[in-house]
Structure 1
Amino acid sequence: MRPLFVVLGALLVVVGGVWTFQGLGYIEGSPMTGVTTWATIGPIVAGLGVALVIVALRRRDS
């Protein structure tokens, strides 16, 4: 299960980063471009992804 959580956490970090950059207007071509809501949601999602990776890597096998 550990690799699944690490991959899922990494995916959340990437998605959060994309949402952040779209919200800030650095990535264009989306209705999300320039919308500050996504510039706020993105770092939250990325932070949750980092937390998931940390928890998954620190978890001991039972």
Structure 2
Amino acid sequence: MGKRILKIALQVFGVALVLSGGLWTLQGLGIVMWPASSFMLADRSWALYGGITVLVGAILLWSSGRIAR
């Protein structure tokens, strides 16, 4: 039961990080200009932060798949 909860938690946080990091990356690159009042728009540092966030999320998703049943 404990491993199952850990696996689900890693998957939920992994997906959340991948999605939010992807948005940050696209905003930082100026591809997604939403919301219009965001301070991240066309700021390359947010593209870097978003890329790192996507990577961390992907690592969490990968590690959740390695947890034995």
TM-score (norm 1): 0.91
CA deviations 1:15-57 (Å, max 9, x no partner) are 1100000000112111100001001111110011000010011
Alignment partner of 1:40 is 2:48 = yes
Determine the C-alpha separation between the residues in 2 that align with 1:21 and 1:7: 21
Q: Which amino acid aligns with 1:36?
A: R
Max Rg structure: 2
Residue identity over aligned pairs, in percent, reads 34
Greater shift after overlay, 9-18 or 26-35? Answer: 26-35
Q: Which amino acid aligns with 1:56?
A: S
Question: What runs of 5+ residues in structure 2 fail to find an aligned partner?
Answer: 1-5
| Segments ≥4 residues shifted beyond 6 Å | none
Cα drift, residue 60 of structure 1: 1.6
Count of residue pairs the alignment pairs up = 61
